[in-house]
Amino acid sequence: MKHITPRELKTKRLRLRNSDLNVQFLYSHSMICIETQHFHLNRILLLAIGLWPYPISKFVRLQIILFSGILTSFVIFQFTAFITTKCTVDFIIKVFSTAIIFNFYVIIYNMFWINTHHVRNLLKQLQCICNELKDENELAIIKKYGYNTRRCTAIITLLAICSILFAILIPIWPQIFGTVLHINQSRIQNQAIQITTEYFIDQEKYIFLIFLHTNAVLCIGGTTMTATGTMILGCFIHACGMFHIASYRIEQAMSTKMLKNINLKNQTMINKKIFYAVEIHRKAMKFIDMLISSFEGSFLLLIMFCVISLSLNIFAVFYNASLGNKEALLLHLSFVFAIYLYMFLTNYIGQEVTNYSNNVYSTAYNVRWYMAPLHTQKMILFILQKGSITFDVNIAGLFVMSLQCFATLTKASMSYFTFMYSTQQ
């Protein structure tokens, strides 16, 4: 056995260390970390409300119970108003128009809390798909859609912050004007309370505690809708990226350069690329099906509440406009805007998924598949057969997320509003 001197041993260790560093450098430049690179802002938002699916400590469990309790209690205190107040049609509409909005927060918060393991599995599956990408152009494609996810999240977060501040400042406006114009304080407090609640206490005496509870609900609920909505939106955007990669692989496999010289080596390469295109197309569809099935019941409930709440809040807008109640009018207008935006974004991304899936079919149809080897033609035929049936984001077989669905839901909401408004004439 050859004797190794201490100097040689030291040199060998340095070489091994340098090689390890090179491997780490190459790994860091070729691999994508979904959580820290593409869902960084989503992670911060979900951590703020205790819904990030990774390590759930005792503090996070306490945070979840506290936030869920705050959101649920506010909905309960709105419905308790029926105990102390005479139930008229106008009063019922007034309570339900706001109570259903805040019930959104409860449903969405608990939806993510219960399905934490599903969110974790979705992120793991997405990370595995990204780890399998080796081609520089494919990595560039998925990074582009990661950038789109970050950009959409940032824009929606900014809109949410502005909306929350607007909703918080609405009750304070009368107090500001009261200080300047010397308006009676009791009148200010009555104008300031636009959301009907019953705490079974002297509301004028504990007005600031009630405001604190209301503002806490607005902040927690607004963050919940933003964090969970952008998280699901980001998953759909990455699914569009997978469909884009599938189209890219088909184009590369059936390029003119490949088809000009079909030898054994090129034939093997074409078959391999088509196989990978079929594989990522299948994974994209499976990923979307997994996403929808994880939240299917909650999505159905949210769709139903969206239609009802939109009808009630449009009615409240017209009702308060006729009474000249500007603070309540602005509050209900902000609710209408938020519901419309939520419905539009949800259906728009569903339409985009369908379009990207159809684009894979179009790409496979338009390439020179007839010049490819017989085995490759059979694989492309498989894509064409799958593409002949439109891939839709289908919720329980009742709703297909698309712009047509958005128009249908809006039409249904306007129909219910028209019915309510006609009965009040």
pLDDT digits (tens, 9 = 90+) for 254-278: 765 555 566 666 677 777 877 888 8
- Number of domains present in the structure of the chain: 1
Mean pLDDT on 31-50: 89
Percentage above 70 pLDDT, the chain: 79
User: Within a domain: residue 5?
Assistant: no
Residue 57, judged by CB atoms within 10 A of its CB (0-12, 13-18, 19+), counts as exposed
Mean pLDDT on 6-22: 48
User: Within a domain: residue 113?
Assistant: yes
- Cα(374)–Cα(380) distance, integer angstroms: 10
Asked whether the predicted pLDDT for residue 184 surpasses 60, the reply is no
User: Within a domain: residue 61?
Assistant: yes
User: Within a domain: residue 292?
Assistant: yes
Mean pLDDT on 203-211: 82
Beta bridge partners of 395: 399
- Cα(242)–Cα(139) distance, integer angstroms: 11
User: Within a domain: residue 15?
Assistant: no
Beta bridge partners of 400: 394
> Can you give the pLDDT at residue 152?
94
Nearest in space to 314 (alpha carbons), one of 414, 408, 167: 414
Asked whether the predicted pLDDT for residue 18 surpasses 80, the reply is no
Amino acid type, 56: I
pLDDT band at 25 (very low <50, low <70, confident <90, very high): very low
Q: Which of 23-32, 301-310, 367-376, 389-398 has the highest mean pLDDT?
A: 301-310
Mean pLDDT on 234-250: 92
User: Within a domain: residue 19?
Assistant: no
User: Within a domain: residue 280?
Assistant: yes
pLDDT digits (tens, 9 = 90+) for 47-94: 999 999 887 788 889 999 999 999 999 999 999 988 888 888 778 888
User: Within a domain: residue 8?
Assistant: no
Range of the domain at 382: 34-423
Phi/psi at 280 (5° precision): -75, -30
Sign for the pseudo-dihedral over CA of 413, 418, 421, 423:
negative
Report how far apart, in Å, the C-alpha atoms of 195 and of each of 96, 136, 210, 352, 421 are.
Answer: 10, 54, 11, 37, 21
Report how far apart, in Å, the C-alpha atoms of 27 and of each of 23, 32, 188 are.
Answer: 6, 9, 63
Helix, strand, or coil here: 395?
A: strand
Helix, strand, or coil here: 195?
A: coil
CB atoms closer than 10 angstroms to residue 407: 11
Percentage above 90 pLDDT, the chain: 32
Report how far apart, in Å, the C-alpha atoms of 166 and of each of 161, 230, 411 are.
Answer: 9, 21, 28
For all residues of the chain together, what is the average pLDDT? 81
Using a cut of 0.85, tell me whether the model's pTM lies above it: no
**C-alpha 203, offset from chain centre:** 37
